[in-house]
């Protein structure tokens, strides 16, 4: 039994007229009648009662039509699902991201992607940059939002967001009333930073601008998450230099000050890149990349 036999049967059952059914199927009537007879022989029961003037479904034919209709509905659904999946409009995508991306690029990217492809299930994983690269290599995430640079030959990355850095101070710090800060005034302050191995692309520029201001920061505490750094600053345990979008966190007990200098450039110092596996054929991933690389 082939699918075309079921289509022939369904069309005759709908038209209840072999001539009209043959015309609709674009075949001659005698071959159509023969195909239906062959189908009945294969099934072992009659589908139609035929007279010179009428065609009607037998009780078995009526029951068979109900099931065949469900088969075609399921087939149409399978074709629709397959097409949407092949176009990246259906399925699942797993995204890794550094925590600070929630204050800038991630919400915008997710909103645009979800609005355009609401049937794609999004799984989110907050991970450090080094952890994301491990998960990418293992296939546990499809795309990552990281702090560059990376040197993995199996990955492709591109910067999609750049911003300045600011100084985070406890609210009652003696410099908290100033509109902006000269970094040199922080030379003797205890610093709270993240470990270099987690994001050397951000850590190194921060150290570099401090050294350009004439000092190396006295790091008294290292934290993996920037929110934790902000919490420790609010507890008066030190100061920090962070991406300016961290201000969206609105943590009590912390104030943020722009850096004042004619010789130091702090613009675009903090960057976020999107990274993915080279030659990954996932159409859903490509849809997200189109938005992240071309529309944000």
Q: What is the pLDDT of residues 3-62, one digit of tens each?
A: 999 999 999 999 999 999 999 999 999 999 999 999 999 999 999 998 888 899 999 999
Beta partners for 122? 93
pLDDT of residue 199: 84
Distances (CA, A) of 283 to 100, 131, 134, 175, 243: 27, 24, 22, 51, 33
Q: How do residues 159-181 score in pLDDT, each as one tens digit? A: 999 999 999 999 999 999 999 99
The C-alpha atoms of residue 267 and residue 246 are separated, in whole angstroms, by 15
The CA angle 268-273-279, to the nearest 5 degrees, is 150
The C-alpha atoms of residue 106 and residue 138 are separated, in whole angstroms, by 23
Q: How do residues 71-120 score in pLDDT, each as one tens digit? A: 999 999 988 888 888 888 888 999 999 988 999 999 999 999 999 999 99
Does the reported pTM lie above 0.85? Answer: no
Nearest partner of 144 among 285, 287, 294, judged by Cα: 285
pLDDT of residue 74: 93
Assess contact for 211 and 181: CB atoms under 8 A: no
The C-alpha atoms of residue 105 and residue 195 are separated, in whole angstroms, by 23
Nearest partner of 264 among 159, 199, 174, 180, judged by Cα: 180
Contacts of 163 (CB under 8 A, 6+ apart): 104, 243, 244, 245, 268, 269, 270, 271
Cβ-count burial 268-277 (b if 16+ within 10 Å, e if not): ebbbbbbbbb
Assess contact for 264 and 286: CB atoms under 8 A: no
Q: How do residues 200-258 score in pLDDT, each as one tens digit? A: 888 999 999 999 999 999 999 999 888 999 999 999 999 999 999 999 877 899 999 99
Question: How much of the chain exceeds pLDDT 70, in percent?
Answer: 100
**In the block, residue with structure tokens 């097409």:** 83
Query: What domains appear along the chain, each with residue ranges and CATH number?
Result: 3-86 (1.10.10.10), 91-161+271-294 (3.40.190.10), 165-266 (3.40.190.10)
Does 153 have pLDDT greater than 90? no
pLDDT band at 264 (very low <50, low <70, confident <90, very high): confident
């Amino acid at each position: 039994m082939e699918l075309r036999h079921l289509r022939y049967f369904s069309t005759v059952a709908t038209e209840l007229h072999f001539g009209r059914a043959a015309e609709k199927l674009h075949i001659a009537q005698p071959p159509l009648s023969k195909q239906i007879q062959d189908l009945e022989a294969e099934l072992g029961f009659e589908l139609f009662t035929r007279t010179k003037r009428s065609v009607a479904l037998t009780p078995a034919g009526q029951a068979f039509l109900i099931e065949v209709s469900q088969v075609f509905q399921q087939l149409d659904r399978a074709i629709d699902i397959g097409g949407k999946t092949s176009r990246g409009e259906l399925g699942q995508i797993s995204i890794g991201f550094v925590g600070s991306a929630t204050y800038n690029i991630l919400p915008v990217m997710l909103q645009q992607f979800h609005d355009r492809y609401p049937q794609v299930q999004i799984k989110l994983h907050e991970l450090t940059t080094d952890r994301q690269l491990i998960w990418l290599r293992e296939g546990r995430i499809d795309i990552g939002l990281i702090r560059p640079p990376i040197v993995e030959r199996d990955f492709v990355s591109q910067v999609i967001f750049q911003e300045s850095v600011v100084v985070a101070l406890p609210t009652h710090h003696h410099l908290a009333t100033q509109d902006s800060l000269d970094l040199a005034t922080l030379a003797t302050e205890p610093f709270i930073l993240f470990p270099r191995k987690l994001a050397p692309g951000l850590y190194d520029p921060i150290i570099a601008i401090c050294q350009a201001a004439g000092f190396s920061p006295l790091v008294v505490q290292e934290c993996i998450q920037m929110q934790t750094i902000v919490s420790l600053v609010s507890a008066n345990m030190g100061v920090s230099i962070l991406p300016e979008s961290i201000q969206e966190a609105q943590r009590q007990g912390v104030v943020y000050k722009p850096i004042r200098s004619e010789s130091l450039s702090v613009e675009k110092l903090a960057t976020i890149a999107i990274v993915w596996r080279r030659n990954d054929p996932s159409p859903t991933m490509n849809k997200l990349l189109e938005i992240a690389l071309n529309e944000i």
